[in-house]
A = this chain, B = another copy of it.
């Protein structure tokens, strides 16, 4: 297991942690300001969200290289299924390709995929998972052409209805098995898998297909479906054990901190948030 007690080289910031830095929200920092703040602390990587880099991906990617922060990837592809997806397949495919282009333009290598919820009018997740597989199959050649890897992120089962019919590491790896393409893998977020006693057994099937590992914490008394994530160490997830499981399978990539927290971390001075992230990364992750 890697020792992070003195190094931040493998720490990455997902900008959602600072309220996405959107104008008027959270820090309100520009992507360049965020990159500077990461560089000052030796934070090795960054993951942007699409609205932040809209139309400026190439320039932001260049700036990141200039200050020595690796753009790990981009959040995220459009929902492929469910009530929050675009209404027709052409829109989904077009936006998916656009997201792949934006990832490539940034100089990032990984596009995160949150697959979307249960298809309207259907019951259970199986039919929706089939649709997800079809959508993914249709963009794999394009992703390969742009040298972008697609990271399927299983979401916590509480998002099963509207955001992700893909809810377990098991299902995500089953989907990878089915698609059998070197550009498709999984992203593991401790928030989504911390409760799963089957996780260590499932992740042992991953064999080089872990494209991302995300950090935050599950607060014992979580009060909001989306925006009440905890800082590492403040919750009940066994962070070290989860990291050990992914590293045992050969994962050597970034640990990406992604904290949605409307009433706590998003309200604080972003410099304080970053300092605390660095300290917790050294001590509890």
Contact B161 A222, beta carbon cutoff 8 Å: yes
CA distance A252 to B160 in the complex (A): 29
Do most interface residues of chain A lie in helix, strand or loop, or is the interface mixed?
Answer: loop
Q: How many residues of A contact B (CB 8 A)?
A: 40
Residues of B with C-beta under 8 A to A261: none
Q: Separation in Å of the A263 CB from the closest CB of chain B?
A: 16
Interface string of A189-204 (1 = CB under 8 A from B): 0000011111000000
- Check: A123 CB closer than 8 A to any chain B CB: yes
Contact B156 A124, beta carbon cutoff 8 Å: no
Q: Which of A20-28, A29-37, A234-242, A274-282 contacts B (4 or more CB under 8 A)?
A: A234-242
Interface string of A226-240 (1 = CB under 8 A from B): 000000000111110
Q: Out of B167, B171, B236, which one reaches A161, CB within 8 Å?
A: B236
Q: Out of B129, B158, B238, B241, which one reaches A157, CB within 8 Å?
A: B158
Contact B197 A161, beta carbon cutoff 8 Å: no
CA distance A163 to B245 in the complex (A): 26
- Check: A146 CB closer than 8 A to any chain B CB: no
Interface string of A201-223 (1 = CB under 8 A from B): 00000000000000000111111
CA distance A66 to B171 in the complex (A): 50
Given A161-B236, A236-B161, answer yes or no on A125-B195 (Cβ-Cβ < 8 Å).
Answer: yes
Contact A237 B124, beta carbon cutoff 8 Å: yes
Q: Separation in Å of the A131 CB from the closest CB of chain B?
A: 14
Contact B157 A195, beta carbon cutoff 8 Å: yes
Residues of B with C-beta under 8 A to A167: 195-196
Residues of B with C-beta under 8 A to A170: 197-198
Contact A83 B195, beta carbon cutoff 8 Å: no
CA distance A120 to B236 in the complex (A): 8
Contact B161 A198, beta carbon cutoff 8 Å: no
Q: Separation in Å of the A264 CB from the closest CB of chain B?
A: 16
Q: Which of A111-157 contact B (CB under 8 A)?
A: 117-118, 120, 122-126, 129, 156-157
Q: Out of B197, B235, B238, which one reaches A168, CB within 8 Å?
A: B197
Residues of B with C-beta under 8 A to A168: 196-198
Highest count of chain B CB atoms <10 Å: which of A117, A171, A195, A241: A195
- Check: A52 CB closer than 8 A to any chain B CB: no
Chain A residues within 8 Å of B, Cβ to Cβ? 82-83, 117-118, 120, 122-126, 129, 156-158, 160-162, 165, 167-168, 170-171, 194-198, 218-223, 225, 235-239, 241
